[in-house]
């Protein structure tokens, strides 16, 4: 998982050198790689990234809008010195997991 995180960050940074928008799009495309690697341990890191990119085709906007709903909560958490992240992070990760189960898996 650490190797996947490093590879994902490097690829997103490289795409972001083109402009911010391609970096965001690729970040969304690669977002399901962790779930795919967990469900299919036979995948290599780059196979998981490629499969995530393939499966997210047609779902990027939906995933973007899902995560956009948490921006207000993130701002509120920053005002209370991050204590609210004890509740926000599990809720956000559960929501993203349900997105994977419903649309990607």
Residue recorded with tokens 């990607």: 104
Tell which wins on pLDDT, 19 or 61: 61
Q: What does the pLDDT read at residue 23?
A: 92
- Give the integer Cα–Cα distance in Å for 83 and 29: 30
Q: What does the pLDDT read at residue 18?
A: 87
User: Domain segments of the chain: what residues?
Assistant: 2-104
- Give the integer Cα–Cα distance in Å for 15 and 18: 6
pLDDT confidence bin for 19, thresholds 50/70/90: confident
With 0.85 as the threshold, say if the pTM is over it. yes
């Amino acid at each position: 998982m650490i190797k996947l995180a490093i590879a994902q960050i490097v690829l997103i940074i490289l795409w972001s050198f083109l402009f911010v928008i391609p970096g965001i799009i690729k970040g969304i495309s690669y977002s399901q790689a962790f779930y795919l690697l967990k469900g299919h341990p036979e995948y290599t890191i780059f196979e998981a990234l490629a499969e995530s990119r393939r499966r997210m085709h047609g779902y990027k906007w939906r995933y973007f809008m899902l995560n956009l709903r948490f921006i207000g909560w993130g701002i509120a958490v920053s005002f209370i010195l991050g204590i609210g992240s004890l509740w926000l992070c599990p809720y956000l990760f559960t929501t993203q997991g349900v997105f994977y189960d419903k649309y990607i898996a």
